[in-house]
Structure 1
Amino acid sequence: MHSQITNIVVSKNDTIFKALELLDLYALRIVLVVDDKNHLLGSVTDGDIRRGLLKGCGIYSSIEIIMHKSPYFVEEGTLTNRQIFEIMREKRYLALPITKNGVLTNIVTLDDLIRKKRKENPVFIMAGGFGTRLRPLTDKCPKPMLPVGGKPLLETIISSFKEQGFYKFYISTHYLPEVIHEHFGDGEKFGIQINYVHETDPLGTGGALSLLPKTDIDLPFIVINGDVLTNMNFEKLIDFHNKNNAVATMCVREFQYQIPYGVVNSDQNIIQSMTEKPSYFFDINTGIYVISPKLLSQVKAEFIGMPTILEQQIEKKQIVSSYPLHEYWLDIGHIEDYNRAQRDIVNLDFGKY
């Protein structure tokens, strides 16, 4: 929740005087009225207060008397930051409430949107795979271009980065590259920059790094598989990588594995203990990385996976950090995953950062 939201929220039983105080203190031109379960009931502006006073209301009267009972709000996840910005500019709002099923969850301010800085860190998307486990869907369509929620998965991935200020993209292609080229072009129509690197022969997630223009990349860059759906905060990931002074960072996610049987521990055929269907927890690779520029010069044009490259760096005593990913994440590797993505995409918010 936005840190300023608690500063401008009142109860319908609060007084007009309190609303005046908040309007004066926080200069957002609006106070939001909620019930005890945080449902948005109304809003109050200085104009509402002025009209109420002219009608004879006292400053210690209930705020419910003057509040606007149909306030303008945005349902969470329905609009991009750009669309919200256009609404606020047109209506001259300084702040706009965000709700989910009627419950106030956030507030976006015009200052937030204006101050969002473009991120100079490039993004490298691996989109060259054959997607064999998703056949026949991928017989004539590369996996990253399969529709999820009415548009290609790759477009959703790019949009999630764009909403967070990233605009420099490299896309690695191999299988049916013309489908990707035709849809995205150089990225201009999407308000971004796209450069393509083509794998004549498959190079794997690690070997594809060798195709990047080393002299053009002087900042840590994000690498992400083209079949990953997530709404994670990529800026925090970059900050974490820099703070650890790492040569590479791998995003990991906790995975629970439950053995479907009772486990028996014995010593010389004497049972010591038994555990019924125990669960074990592991950190798994999410297919999202941050790579420092100095690593690029060490990658050769050969088939190699990213984990192998990171293992080589660990052997060289270089810092390879792990970043715990707690937000939504889905690796679309099988038909069941693809079907789940179609269901999940409806409620995902990619523009909240």
Structure 2
Amino acid sequence: MKAMILAAGKGERLRPLTLHTPKPLVRAGGVPLIEYQLHALRRAGFDQLVINHAWLGQQIEDHLGDGQAYGVNIRYSAEGEPLETGGGIFKALPLLGDEPFVIANGDIWTDFDYASLQGGLAEGDLAHLVLVDNPGHHSRGDFCLHDGRVGDYREGEPSLTYSGIAILHPALFDGCEAGAFKLAPLLRKAMESGRVSGVRHGGRWVDVGTHERLADVERQLAER
């Protein structure tokens, strides 16, 4: 199974760090954020990777190269202008093939075990989402999880936040056209037909989108 690391974000809330450095190469504990994801995927048996990029993306290619130094093979999907999550994955589909694949945001820090995703998707499903408890900056959450099935957020029901980690089937993108578009509407459409499974990850997870959250990761690394 192939995996895609999403690395096209501009990281505006992390300025000035991201004025001259792409967000996935911002360091926590002396290590670029994207390397934590890369190493975790390799440990879990994912050695065929696709990485998309836009803002200062050549720096990512220069830093990671073809992946041999990390024990993986990396192919790149250069976007130029960001295509958002859905559009970026759609553009990379020719590199990902016809089988389900894993996606992981390049700017999260987590102890999630990617090996648990090697089983792929249940027959008929279009997506499997890894969800986490709602962080303070996103207390409303995104989706509901009942008996391993994911549905859209409903007022008054317990909710969870999408972690940025998932298995997707290429068929999720049937009918899409090239350009910038979000992933969430495609997921919600699949949820309506009962074709999205999910799991809650109760371990460490930080969406490193601000200086405060970067400092949180630094603190957790220092405590290890």
If the length of structure 2 is used for normalisation, what is the TM-score? 0.83
How far did 1:216 drift?
5.2
Instruction: Measure, in 1, the Cα distance between the counterparts of 2:97 and 2:114.
Output: 18
- Tell me whether 1:249 sits opposite 2:117 in the alignment: no
Q: Does 1:220 align with 2:100?
A: yes
1:319 aligns with 2:198: no
Residue of 164, 176, 180 corresponding to 1:299? 176
**In structure 1, the residue corresponding to 2:162 is in which secondary structure?**
strand
2:161 to 273, 284, 302: 284
The higher-RCO structure (CA 8 Å, 6+ apart) is 2
Matched, 1:308 2:185: yes
Call closer, same or farther: CA 1:329–1:256 in 2, change over 3 Å. Answer: closer
8 Å Cα contact 1:174-1:199 kept in structure 2 = yes
Residues 1:336 and 2:216 are matched in the alignment: no
- Per-residue deviation, residues 43-83 of structure 1 (Å, max 9, x unmatched): xxxxxxxxxxxxxxxxxxxxxxxxxxxxxxxxxxxxxxxxx
Provide, for residues 85-143 of structure 1, a one-character-per-residue CA deviation record: whole Å limited to 9, x for no partner: xxxxxxxxxxxxxxxxxxxxxxxxxxxxxxxxxxxx11111111110001111110011
Cα pair 1:255 1:281 within 8 Å, conserved: no
Equivalent of residue 189 in structure 1, options 62, 69, 78? 69
Q: Which moved more, 1:207-216 or 1:219-228?
A: 207-216
Q: How far apart are residue 318 of structure 1 and its match? A: 5.0
Q: How does 1:250-265 map to 2 (within 5 A)?
A: 250-255=129-134
C-alpha distance in structure 2 between counterparts of 1:249 and 1:126, whole Å: 17
CA distance in 2, matches of 1:340, 1:132: 18
Q: Letter of the aligned partner of 1:139 in structure 2?
A: L
Kindly state the Cα deviation for residue 333 of structure 1 after the two structures are TM-superposed. 1.0
1-structure distance, mates of 2:96, 2:18? 33
The answer to whether the 8 A contact 2:4-2:104 is kept is: yes
What secondary structure is seen at the aligned counterpart in 1 of 2:121?
A: helix
CA distance in 1, matches of 2:54, 2:95: 23
Indicate if the aligned counterparts of 1:142 and 1:176 stay in contact, CA closer than 8 A: yes
SS at match of 1:324: strand
CA apart distance, 1:321: 1.6
- The reply on whether 1:139 has 2:16 as its aligned counterpart is no
Give the gaps of 5 or more residues in structure 2. 137-156
Aligned partners of 1:236 and 1:331: how far apart in 2? 21
Matches within 5 A, 1:1-353: 121-214=1-94, 217-239=97-119, 241-243=120-122, 245-255=124-134, 281-315=158-192, 317=193, 319-346=195-222
1:7-41 residue CA offsets vs partner (Å, 9 max, x unmatched): xxxxxxxxxxxxxxxxxxxxxxxxxxxxxxxxxxx
State the SS of the aligned residue for 2:166. Answer: strand
Q: What is the CA–CA distance in structure 1 between the aligned matches of 2:114 and 2:123, rounded to whole Å?
A: 16
Partner AA of 1:158 in structure 2: L
Q: Which has the higher Rg, Structure 1 or Structure 2?
A: 1
Tell whether the 8 Å contact from 1:203 to 1:303 is kept in structure 2 after alignment.
Answer: yes
Instruction: Tell me by how many angstroms 1:182 deviates.
Output: 0.7
TM-score normalised over the length of structure 1: 0.54
1:58 aligns with none
Whether the 8 Å CA contact 1:167–1:193 is kept in 2: the answer is: yes
Does the 8 Å CA contact 1:220/1:238 hold for their aligned counterparts?
no
AA of the residue aligned to 1:331: D
Q: Percent identity?
A: 29
Corresponding residue of 1:40: none
| Deviations 1:141-181 (CA, angstroms, capped at 9, x unpaired) | 01110111112111111011111211111101000011101
What per-residue deviation string (whole Å, max 9, x for no partner) do you get for residues 310-332 of structure 1?
A: 123234x2501222112211110
What code does the residue aligned with 2:169 have?
S
Specify the code of the residue in structure 2 equivalent to 1:251: V
Amino acid corresponding to residue 212 of structure 2 in structure 1: E
Q: Which runs of 4+ in 1 moved over 4 A?
A: none
User: How far apart are the structure 2 equivalents of 1:181 and 1:204?
Assistant: 19
The 1:253/1:236 distance shift into structure 2, 3 A limit, reads same
SS in 1 for 2:34: helix
Aligned length: 205
2:8–2:52 contact (8 Å) kept in structure 1: yes
